[in-house]
Amino acid sequence: MTKRGSCHCGNVAFAVDAPLDEAMECNCSHCSRKGYLLAFVPRGVLTLDPVDGELHTYRFNKHSIAHHFCGTCGCAPYAEGTGPDGSEMAAVNLRCIEGIDLSAVKITQVDGRSF
């Protein structure tokens, strides 16, 4: 089932065609400050709507994950990187998905501060 998401102002929008019933909540300095609930999916199931220069990227720590955010509203709806097996992955911020019932999502706590 395809779900749609976006930043707050709608300049960075996307669709994801994958189950979004599990997510991780990381306590690292970046994720905890932004309140991320991240669902990891293969990059190929994430389709981006055209963006006119509003997409910006932030990298920190090992610089292995490209955290994308809107240059207008600052909201960060997804990130891109590679999985442990080397495959291209996307981390979708479930808080940016339209109409999702977050109480139905299995959330796993991750101790990112220890990485």
Structural domain that includes position 43: 2-114
Q: Is the dihedral of CA 103, 41, 45, 71 positive or negative?
A: positive
Tell me the CATH number at 73. Answer: 2.170.150.70
The whole-number pLDDT of residue 62 equals 76
Domain count, the chain: 1
Examine the pLDDT at 105 and tell me if it is beyond 90. Answer: yes
Element (H, E) at 24: strand 22-26
* 1 confidence band (pLDDT: 50, 70, 90): confident
Q: What global pTM score does this model have?
A: 0.91
- pLDDT of 35-82, one tens digit each? 999 999 999 999 998 666 688 999 987 778 899 999 999 999 999 999
